[in-house]
Amino acid sequence: MKPAAFDYFRPASLSDALALLAKYKDDCKILAGGQSLVPAMNFRLARPAILIDINDIAELDYVHADDRGLHIGALTRHAAFHRRVVDGPLGALFSAVARHIAHYPIRQRGTFAGSLAHADPASEWCLLATTLDATVVAKSARGERAIAIGDFFNGTFSTDLEPDELLAEVHLPPMGQGWRTGFYEFSRRAGDFALGMALAALRIEAGVVREARLGVGGVSDRAIRLRKLEERLVGGAASQEMIDTIAREAWASVSPIGDIHATPEYRRDLVATAVKRALTEAAA
């Protein structure tokens, strides 16, 4: 339960951090909140030769909204979302989802961007980012690039980030007042990772769904956007009948993984339930 030996850097600026990344590349890990990395190091499941602690880099600690949407810096803690960071449905959704993430002390340390970089398939933030078309801003000494969330996750604990890149910011498009959202998660205990969860966002005008976003998480090696079902939703009413249909098709469309916590059959059942409950909340 003691980590293997490592070197430790605590740069005070982003450029210093990027220089270290450029120098050490695969040998290093970024330490932000450390809520996943540090236990993994203590178990010696992760053995980075070098830790780059970014907690002193004040320029990464921000969350702000503008007409392009929400911008979340790499050091924004989960707890920052307890209160609404932006007016309207997006801020409310973030606030609701944040309360499902682990426990209060963990939320004070762990970061939004760190969750994405860690890429746990049962992470609430990975589901939210996937479902709501987030963009990841990766920075390196070579420059900066924007990665669409659909291209970001490569699988469990695996992303498109290059060894010299830092996940500097996550950007979410704005969500106008016409949107309604729903989130449902099932976990064994309060604060556990989800065994199944769904996030739905609907823009309803005069009883007709005009736009829809629907995703499920905790099911396979990454969060899944259910685009075909989104298309089914658009143009009709978000009726109970429609919700049941979507839940049934979600159930049929996923190929869940099995592990000691849940069999594929059980996860599939949870997908249908989560989709139904998330959509019901969004349509209410």
Partner 1 sequence: MNWIGRSLPRLEDPSLLKGNGSYVADRIGNAASVRFVRSPLARGAITGIEIPSGTVVFTGRDLSGVKPIRPILHRPDYVAIGQPVLPVDRVTFCGQAVAVVVAEDPARAEDIADRVFVDIEGENAIVDLDAALATGTAPVHPEAVSNVLVEGRMKTAGLDTAFEEAAEIVTLELRSHRQSAAPMENRGGVAVYDVASGRVTLTASVQMPHMLRTGIADALGMTESDLRVIAPDVGGGFGQKMSLFPEYVVLVWLARKLKRDVAWIEDRRENFTASAHGRDQAFSLRGAFAKDGRLLGLDADLRSNVGAFSCYPVTCGVEPLMALAELPGPYDLAEYGVRSRGVTTNTCMMAPYRGVSRPMLTFSMERLMEVAATRLGIDSVEIRRRNLITAFPHRSPTGLVYDEGSYLQAMEAAAKSVDLPAFRARQAAARLRGHFLGVGFSVFSERTGYGTPAYAARGMEIVPGYEIVDCTMDPSGDVVLRIGSSPHGQGLKTSLAQLVSDELGIEPHRIRIISGDTDATPYGWGTFASRSMVIAGGASKLAAGKVAHKLKTIAAQLMETTAESITLENGWARVSNSNQATAIGVLARAAYHQSHRFKGLSPGLHESAVYDPGGTFSNACHVAIVEVDIETGGTRIERFIVVEDAGVLINPMIVDGQIAGGVAQGIANALFEEIIYDESGNLLTASFADYLPPTSAEVPEIEIIHMETVSPESITKAKGVGEGGAIGAPAAVVNAIVDALSPFGIQLFELPATPQRIREQLRRAGVATHG
Footprint on this chain of partner 1 (rule: CB under 8 A): 1-5, 39, 43-44, 186, 188-192, 195, 244, 247-248, 250-252, 260-263, 265-266, 269-270, 272-273, 276
User: Which CB sits closer to partner 1, 37 or 138?
Assistant: 37
Q: Around Cβ 34, how many Cβ atoms within 10 Å?
A: 19
By beta-carbon proximity to partner 1, the closer residue of 25 and 99 is 99
Sign of the C-alpha dihedral computed for residues 204, 130, 229 and 271 taken in this order: negative
Distances (CA, A) of 270 to 196, 222, 251: 5, 16, 8
The owner of tokens 């950007």 is 171
- Minimal distance, residue 275 CB to partner 1, in Å: 9
Q: Provide the minimum distance between the beta carbon of 44 and partner 1 in the complex, in angstroms, as a whole number.
A: 7
CB closer to partner 1, 122 vs 138: 122
Distance CA 193, CA 101 (A): 8
* Cα 37–Cα 43–Cα 49 angle in degrees, nearest 5: 60
Residue 4 vs 146, nearer CB to partner 1: 4
45 or 206, CB closer to partner 1? 45
Residues forming beta bridges with residue 134, ordered by sequence position: none
Name the minimum Å distance from CB 276 to partner 1.
Answer: 8
**H or E element, residue 107:** helix 104-109
Q: In 147-255, where does DSSP find H-type helix?
A: 149-152, 227-233, 240-253
Q: How far apart are CA 199 and CA 191, in angstroms?
A: 17
CB atoms within 10 A of CB 203: 19
Q: Closest separation between CB of residue 42 and partner 1, Å?
A: 8
Query: Min. distance of Cβ 5 from partner 1 in angstroms?
Result: 7
Q: Between residues 167 and 262, which has the closer beta carbon with respect to partner 1?
A: 262
Whole-number minimum distance, CB 36 to partner 1, in Å? 10
64 phi/psi in degrees, rounded to 5:
-150, 155
CB of 69 to partner 1, least distance (A): 33
Query: For residues 74 and 194, which CB has a smaller minimum distance to partner 1 in the complex?
Result: 194
Map residue 173 onto helix, strand or coil: coil
**What is the b/e burial string over 85-103, where b = at least 16 CB atoms within 10 angstroms of the residue's CB?**
bbeebbbbbbebbbebbbe
Residue closer to partner 1 (CB basis): 8 or 144 = 8
**Secondary structure (3-state) at 8:** strand
The minimum distance between CB 226 and partner 1, in angstroms, equals 14
